[in-house]
Homo-oligomer: A and B are copies of this chain.
Amino acid sequence: MTASNELDDSFHVFDTTLRDGAQREGINLTVADKLAIARHLDDFGVGFIEGGWPGANPRDTEFFARAQQEIDFRHARLVAFGATRRAGGTASEDPQVKALLASGAQVITLVAKSHDRHVELALRTTLDENLEMVRDTVAFLTSQGRRVFVDCEHFFDGYRANPEYAKAVVRTASEAGADVVILCDTNGGMLPAQIQAVVATVLADTGARLGVHAQDDTGCAVANTLAAVDAGATHVQCTANGYGERVGNANLFPVVAALELKYGRKVLPEGRLREMTRISHAIAEVVNLAPSTHQPYVGLSAFAHKAGLHASAIKVDPDLYQHIDPEEVGNTMRMLVSDMAGRASIELKGKELGIDLGGDRELVGRVVERVKERELQGYTYEAADASFELLLRAEVEGGPLKYFDVESWRAIAEDRPDGTHANEATVKLWAKGERIVATAEGNGPVNALDRALRVALEKIYPELAKLGLVDYKVRILEGKHGTHSTTRVLISTADGTGEWSTVGVADNVIAASWQALEDAYTYGLLRAGVAPAR
């Protein structure tokens, strides 16, 4: 492992996605996953990557062996996590401590108990022996040339129960040679004001270099981390996308963004913050969780604007409506169309689509009315860009874009006496003066309709061969007076170079799907540059 941290050592961005983050319900990382995440974190520029607990399970042991061989770390140092030695033994002969040394990691984080009741109930030893375990283990590992950080587990609860003992653990660790003592809100119940007061007092009373490790059980982990920094902590432990046990850990990305953009504190190598959105999404892909669309800074919606009220002013000065320039974190501003939108957002959206509405107030007003009316029926255009563009073009060009005229369609779903299923659809339509009848089967009636429509249209428009459905969503909307219900279908379609979404609304799922399919194919032909029949 080579590591050339460009930043000085005065502030630590310490990532524990691979250790504490992996405790999140639903995450189960292979060694290959861990290596991929370590590469992303190093690419992002964190100072320390806690890789796991070597010796505790074969996966973590293998990870340390391979990470040091296979990854050429540019920014980060690899950290092994472990515990203080057993009660009554010596650190130099403790198998768990030896496994930490054997991992080859040059930096080691030791977890230590700092809450008196945990020492007694979970560790089943005396308060004095716990201090001795901390002293002995830190002293032994530093004597072996390792840099040691000490995580004080349950520190804030422990401080509330017995502040003198909690501080004694910090002092012992620091005096034994630990570079940083991390105060952990393990149960996550703290609020920023509490964190700030305790960190300030412990710093004043012990003089130890302090770090913070916050869990998000009150929804304040990011703020708790920053509160500790305000009080003098110079080491923050976080996880990518806030993954972690229960609710999760302090999210690395908003913590780093706040430090760089709000505090003006350089904690990443030059230019790395702009990679944050990409890296957040890449790590979500590796752990196989959909990236949170509403995550601060990096979510798809983080810079999306919907309100009509704001849209007119966004045109004048976007910085009045966003707390940072989204490009600073590699994200982008998006305008959403909805019935709350007014003229300004329609004009902006038109511009985005390359359709000049040329300040035609009457035209824009008509589009606004049309959107409002359709959204009242259940359509939603913010999630159906392509249907919105077709609606807009229909108003601008004086009528809908037509590549084909549908005469009729029929879909059949059947469960036969012999136990087999059949889903079949027939479509009859006119295109370029020709009447076409096509029938197809599918794994459901909508799929059969999609195939029949494609079979019919491909005879005339071979461009459609590239098109494929990539997503399909159904929502039942309650009707105006609870008697009727309405079905809304959203379809995403791709052609290899892009993806677009269309919407259909009807009193049943088949008819709604049909509308969305018609829009999807019409838009696909428009994208392909085919001249409309109209």
Q: Of B218, B442, B476, B482, which one neighbours A262 at CB under 8 angstroms?
A: B218
Knowing A192-B227, A511-B413, the reply to whether A338 touches B296 (Cβ < 8 A) is no
Q: How many protomers of this protein does the assembly include?
A: 2
- The secondary structure that dominates the A interface is mixed
Which residues of A, 7-43, contact B by the 8 Å Cβ criterion? 22-26, 28, 30-33
Interchain CA distance A23-B58 in the complex, whole Å: 48
| In contact, A33 and B408 (Cβ under 8 angstroms) | no
| In contact, B245 and A306 (Cβ under 8 angstroms) | yes
Q: Of B258, B307, B409, which one neighbours A245 at CB under 8 angstroms?
A: B307
Which residues of A, 289-334, contact B by the 8 Å Cβ criterion? 293-297, 299-307, 309-310, 312-313, 316-317, 320-324
Residues of the B chain whose Cβ atoms lie less than 8 Å from the Cβ of A510: 413, 423, 444-445
Residues of the B chain whose Cβ atoms lie less than 8 Å from the Cβ of A445: 411, 413, 445, 508-510
Knowing A31-B480, A245-B305, A262-B218, the reply to whether A412 touches B415 (Cβ < 8 A) is no
| In contact, B25 and A306 (Cβ under 8 angstroms) | yes
- Minimum distance in angstroms from A491 CB to a CB of chain B: 11
- Minimum distance in angstroms from A226 CB to a CB of chain B: 6
- Minimum distance in angstroms from A256 CB to a CB of chain B: 11
A272 within 8 A of B: no
A504 within 8 A of B: no
Interchain CA distance A310-B121 in the complex, whole Å: 11
Which residues of A, 468-523, contact B by the 8 Å Cβ criterion? 470, 472-482, 484-485, 487, 507-511, 514
Residues of the B chain whose Cβ atoms lie less than 8 Å from the Cβ of A293: 25-26
| In contact, A413 and B411 (Cβ under 8 angstroms) | yes
**Chain B binder among A97-105, A378-386, A524-532:** A378-386
How many positions in chain A have a CB within 8 Å of any CB in the partner chain?
A: 129
Can you name the residue of chain B whose Cβ is closest to the Cβ of A83? Answer: B309
Q: Of B188, B192, B320, B417, which one neighbours A223 at CB under 8 angstroms?
A: B192
Interchain CA distance A83-B310 in the complex, whole Å: 13
Can you name the residue of chain B whose Cβ is closest to the Cβ of A117? Answer: B320
A101-122 vs B, CB cutoff 8 Å, 1 = contact: the mask equals 0000000000100010110011
Residues of the B chain whose Cβ atoms lie less than 8 Å from the Cβ of A296: 216-219, 247
- Minimum distance in angstroms from A373 CB to a CB of chain B: 9
Interchain CA distance A519-B476 in the complex, whole Å: 20
| In contact, B412 and A408 (Cβ under 8 angstroms) | no
Can you name the residue of chain B whose Cβ is closest to the Cβ of A313? Answer: B122
| In contact, A188 and B323 (Cβ under 8 angstroms) | yes
Which residues of A, 373-410, contact B by the 8 Å Cβ criterion? 375-376, 378, 380, 382-383, 406-410
Residues of the B chain whose Cβ atoms lie less than 8 Å from the Cβ of A129: none
Residues of the B chain whose Cβ atoms lie less than 8 Å from the Cβ of A412: 410-412
- Minimum distance in angstroms from A334 CB to a CB of chain B: 9
Can you name the residue of chain B whose Cβ is closest to the Cβ of A290? Answer: B478
A223-236 vs B, CB cutoff 8 Å, 1 = contact: the mask equals 11011001000000
Interchain CA distance A23-B28 in the complex, whole Å: 35
Residues of the B chain whose Cβ atoms lie less than 8 Å from the Cβ of A478: 30, 32-33
- Minimum distance in angstroms from A94 CB to a CB of chain B: 16
| In contact, A28 and B380 (Cβ under 8 angstroms) | yes
- Minimum distance in angstroms from A242 CB to a CB of chain B: 8
Interchain CA distance A217-B333 in the complex, whole Å: 13
A126 within 8 A of B: no
Can you name the residue of chain B whose Cβ is closest to the Cβ of A288? Answer: B475
Residues of the B chain whose Cβ atoms lie less than 8 Å from the Cβ of A83: 309
Residues of the B chain whose Cβ atoms lie less than 8 Å from the Cβ of A191: 223, 226, 258, 262
Name 6 A/B residue pairs within 8 A (Cβ), A-sorted: A30-B479, A217-B297, A219-B296, A246-B304, A408-B415, A474-B487
Could you tell me which A residues sit within 8 Å of B by CB distance?
22-26, 28, 30-33, 56-59, 83, 111, 115, 117-118, 121-122, 154, 157, 187-189, 191-193, 216-220, 222-224, 226-227, 230, 242, 245-248, 251, 254, 257-258, 262, 288, 293-297, 299-307, 309-310, 312-313, 316-317, 320-324, 336, 338-340, 372, 375-376, 378, 380, 382-383, 406-417, 421, 423, 428, 442-447, 470, 472-482, 484-485, 487, 507-511, 514
Instruction: Give 7 nearest A-B pairs by CB, closest first.
Output: A444-B508, A189-B323, A223-B223, A122-B313, A219-B254, A413-B510, A32-B478
